[in-house]
Amino acid sequence: MSKGQIKWIRSLKDKKTREESQTFVVETEKSVVELLQSNWTVQKIICTEVFAQKHAQLLKKYPAERLLMLSESEIVQASQLENNKSALAVVQMPPKNAQPQAEGFCLYLDHIQDPGNLGTIVRIADWYGLQRVFCSLNTVDIYNPKSISASMGSFLRVSVHYVELDWLKNYPHVILGADMTGKNLHEIALPAQALLVIGNEGHGISYEVKALVHQFISIPRFGEAESLNAGVATAIICDNWRRAHKQ
């Protein structure tokens, strides 16, 4: 591989470059395989010979010029993750949905900063069958390689939308906020249609968003830990919601 190509792939770790080219990188065998099974537009697949042989069936539909076979050490060089030795793919971003529908139970992430947390939350949304995750504009980018990796392929199924505060003001259903001061999750009835706001890792829900929350809910605590991390809190609330709304 030319140094230019490695440079191009590595440049996609920057959000600005991703935005301009409307492309991002998917890494590791598991995620690339899931990607190839989807109907997303893959611009380039870069993989080892071992990967290409193992997944020959999946690769058949791609013209030869979209495929690039490299050694393990070259893959490591091009990768942005530490543990990837087998494959990466340059993928076209899906078109942005200007008016995403807000039906059922959805999440709204208010300034989530850690890309791993964002990916984990998308994975949890996928597990619980939620279709959409909305994010404040200052939430970390879903196309960050660490977000994509932590989502374990769930980014292919859950759509993530970045929205202005005005969007939240016009939300048609109940807005719930996860907050330590809220009502005990085990003692209230969660509505079938709602938006659950998850706040920033260190500071919780922002002032502006708090003003729009209709009901604060809390996860009952029985011991002394000060808090739970954002992904864990999201999962517990989704599980409680699913207990009441199985369909």
Residues binding its own copies (CB under 8 A): 120, 123-130, 152-154, 157-158, 186, 219-229, 231-232, 235-236, 239-240, 242-243, 246
Which bin fits 204, alpha (ψ -120 to 50), beta or left (φ > 0)?
left
Distance between CA atoms of residues 69 and 89, nearest Å:
12
Q: Return the number of the residue (46 or 102) whose C-beta is nearest its own copies.
A: 102
State the helix-helix crossing angle for 115-127 and 230-244, rounded to 10 degrees: 10
CB-CB contact of 153 with 30 (8 Å): yes
| Residue 212: CB minimum distance to its own copies, A | 27
Nearer to its own copies, 7 or 30 (CB): 30
Shortest distance (Å) from residue 157 CB to its own copies: 6
Toward its own copies, which CB reaches closer, 90 or 124? Answer: 124
Task: Name the minimum Å distance from CB 202 to its own copies.
Answer: 11
Task: Find the DSSP H helices in 12-94.
Answer: 15-21, 29-37, 49-54, 56-59, 72-78
Q: Which is closer to its own copies, CB of 81 or CB of 236?
A: 236
Yes or no: say if 105 and 171 are a contact pair by the CB < 8 Å rule.
Answer: no
d(CA 39, CA 200): 33
Closer by beta carbon to its own copies, 139 or else 234: 234
What are the C-alpha distances in Å from 148 to residues 102, 142, 154, 196?
Answer: 23, 6, 8, 22
Residue with Cβ nearer its own copies (54 or 66): 54
Least distance from its own copies to the Cβ atom of residue 148, Å: 14
Least separation in angstroms between CB 125 and its own copies = 8
Report the nearest approach of its own copies to the CB of residue 96 (Å). 23
